[in-house]
Amino acid sequence: MRFIAICAKAAIPSFLLMAAVYMAAADSPSVTVRGYVLDSACAFTKDLSKPISKQCATSCANAGSQLVILAEDGTIYWPIAPTTPSSGQNPKLLPFAADKVIVTGKVYQRGGSKAIVIDKIEAQSPLK
Protein backbone atom coordinates (compact mmCIF):
# COMPACT_ATOMS: atom_id res chain seq x y z
CA MET A 1 0.00 0.00 0.00
CA ARG A 2 2.77 2.40 0.84
CA PHE A 3 4.34 1.85 -2.61
CA ILE A 4 1.03 2.79 -4.29
CA ALA A 5 0.76 5.95 -2.20
CA ILE A 6 4.33 6.97 -3.14
CA CYS A 7 3.63 6.33 -6.85
CA ALA A 8 0.42 8.34 -6.67
CA LYS A 9 2.26 11.28 -5.06
CA ALA A 10 4.93 11.14 -7.78
CA ALA A 11 2.31 11.02 -10.54
CA ILE A 12 0.52 14.18 -9.40
CA PRO A 13 3.42 16.57 -10.14
CA SER A 14 3.98 14.88 -13.52
CA PHE A 15 0.31 15.27 -14.39
CA LEU A 16 0.32 18.93 -13.32
CA LEU A 17 3.42 19.61 -15.43
CA MET A 18 1.84 18.00 -18.50
CA ALA A 19 -1.37 19.98 -17.95
CA ALA A 20 0.59 23.25 -17.65
CA VAL A 21 2.50 22.55 -20.89
CA TYR A 22 -0.77 21.73 -22.68
CA MET A 23 -2.46 24.90 -21.40
CA ALA A 24 0.54 27.06 -22.41
CA ALA A 25 0.39 25.58 -25.91
CA ALA A 26 -3.33 26.25 -26.09
CA ASP A 27 -2.69 29.93 -25.28
CA SER A 28 -0.16 30.40 -28.08
CA PRO A 29 -1.62 32.28 -31.03
CA SER A 30 -2.17 30.58 -34.37
CA VAL A 31 -0.70 32.69 -37.16
CA THR A 32 -0.08 32.52 -40.89
CA VAL A 33 3.46 33.16 -42.08
CA ARG A 34 4.52 33.67 -45.69
CA GLY A 35 8.14 33.18 -46.62
CA TYR A 36 10.86 30.90 -47.92
CA VAL A 37 12.04 27.54 -46.61
CA LEU A 38 15.82 27.63 -46.45
CA ASP A 39 18.83 26.30 -44.61
CA SER A 40 19.32 27.90 -41.19
CA ALA A 41 23.08 28.36 -41.65
CA CYS A 42 22.60 30.27 -44.90
CA ALA A 43 19.85 32.37 -43.36
CA PHE A 44 22.30 33.64 -40.75
CA THR A 45 25.78 33.50 -42.29
CA LYS A 46 24.87 34.69 -45.79
CA ASP A 47 22.08 37.09 -44.73
CA LEU A 48 19.91 35.82 -47.58
CA SER A 49 16.53 37.30 -48.42
CA LYS A 50 15.69 34.15 -50.41
CA PRO A 51 17.31 30.75 -50.99
CA ILE A 52 20.17 30.31 -53.46
CA SER A 53 18.65 27.20 -55.05
CA LYS A 54 16.53 24.15 -54.31
CA GLN A 55 19.61 21.91 -54.70
CA CYS A 56 21.57 23.96 -52.15
CA ALA A 57 18.76 23.95 -49.56
CA THR A 58 18.12 20.23 -50.08
CA SER A 59 21.83 19.34 -49.82
CA CYS A 60 22.21 21.26 -46.57
CA ALA A 61 19.06 19.70 -45.10
CA ASN A 62 20.17 16.20 -46.09
CA ALA A 63 23.51 16.89 -44.43
CA GLY A 64 21.68 17.63 -41.16
CA SER A 65 21.20 21.40 -41.20
CA GLN A 66 17.86 22.58 -39.84
CA LEU A 67 15.50 24.13 -42.36
CA VAL A 68 13.78 27.33 -41.23
CA ILE A 69 11.13 29.67 -42.54
CA LEU A 70 12.37 33.12 -43.52
CA ALA A 71 9.28 35.34 -43.41
CA GLU A 72 8.73 38.23 -45.79
CA ASP A 73 9.53 40.68 -42.97
CA GLY A 74 12.92 39.00 -42.32
CA THR A 75 11.83 37.08 -39.21
CA ILE A 76 13.24 33.56 -38.95
CA TYR A 77 10.89 30.92 -37.59
CA TRP A 78 12.37 27.68 -36.22
CA PRO A 79 9.94 24.80 -36.90
CA ILE A 80 9.43 22.69 -33.79
CA ALA A 81 7.38 19.63 -32.90
CA PRO A 82 4.46 19.83 -30.46
CA THR A 83 5.45 16.53 -28.86
CA THR A 84 7.77 15.43 -26.10
CA PRO A 85 10.16 13.93 -26.85
CA SER A 86 10.52 16.34 -29.73
CA SER A 87 11.47 15.47 -33.29
CA GLY A 88 13.13 17.29 -36.16
CA GLN A 89 10.87 19.00 -38.68
CA ASN A 90 13.09 18.69 -41.77
CA PRO A 91 11.03 15.80 -43.21
CA LYS A 92 7.95 18.05 -43.16
CA LEU A 93 9.84 20.97 -44.76
CA LEU A 94 12.09 19.15 -47.25
CA PRO A 95 9.44 18.95 -50.03
CA PHE A 96 9.26 22.77 -49.85
CA ALA A 97 13.03 23.47 -49.69
CA ALA A 98 13.78 26.82 -51.40
CA ASP A 99 10.08 27.36 -52.16
CA LYS A 100 7.91 30.23 -51.04
CA VAL A 101 5.32 28.84 -48.63
CA ILE A 102 2.31 29.72 -46.54
CA VAL A 103 2.57 28.21 -43.06
CA THR A 104 -0.13 28.20 -40.40
CA GLY A 105 0.61 27.20 -36.83
CA LYS A 106 1.22 28.18 -33.25
CA VAL A 107 4.09 30.60 -32.62
CA TYR A 108 6.29 30.66 -29.53
CA GLN A 109 8.78 33.38 -28.67
CA ARG A 110 11.68 33.36 -26.28
CA GLY A 111 14.75 35.58 -25.99
CA GLY A 112 14.38 37.09 -29.46
CA SER A 113 13.84 33.74 -31.19
CA LYS A 114 10.58 32.61 -32.75
CA ALA A 115 9.46 29.02 -33.24
CA ILE A 116 6.41 27.63 -34.97
CA VAL A 117 4.53 24.36 -34.61
CA ILE A 118 3.32 23.79 -38.16
CA ASP A 119 -0.34 22.87 -38.50
CA LYS A 120 -0.42 23.41 -42.26
CA ILE A 121 2.18 24.16 -44.95
CA GLU A 122 1.59 24.72 -48.64
CA ALA A 123 3.48 26.17 -51.57
CA GLN A 124 2.62 29.79 -52.25
CA SER A 125 1.48 30.33 -55.80
CA PRO A 126 3.57 32.84 -57.77
CA LEU A 127 0.58 35.17 -58.12
CA LYS A 128 0.25 35.76 -54.37
Q: Where are the alpha helices (DSSP H) in the chain?
A: 2-27, 40-45, 54-62, 90-93
Q: Are strands 30-39 and 67-71 parallel, antiparallel or unpaired?
A: antiparallel
Would you call the peptide bond into 85 cis, given omega within 30 degrees of 0 as the criterion? yes
Q: 44-83 burial, b if ≥16 CB within 10 A, otherwise e?
A: eeeeeeebeeeeebbebbeeebbbbbbbeeeebbebbeee
Residue-level pLDDT, tens digit, the chain, 128 residues: 555 555 555 555 544 444 444 445 557 779 999 999 999 999 999 988 889 999 999 999 999 999 999 999 999 999 999 999 999 999 999 999 999 999 999 999 999 999 999 999 999 987 65
CA separation for the pair 21, 110 (Å, rounded): 15
CA separation for the pair 72, 32 (Å, rounded): 12
pLDDT tens per residue, range 15-45: 444 444 444 555 777 999 999 999 999 999 9
Average model confidence (pLDDT) across the chain: 85
- The dihedrals phi and psi of 36, each to the nearest 5 degrees, come to -100, 150
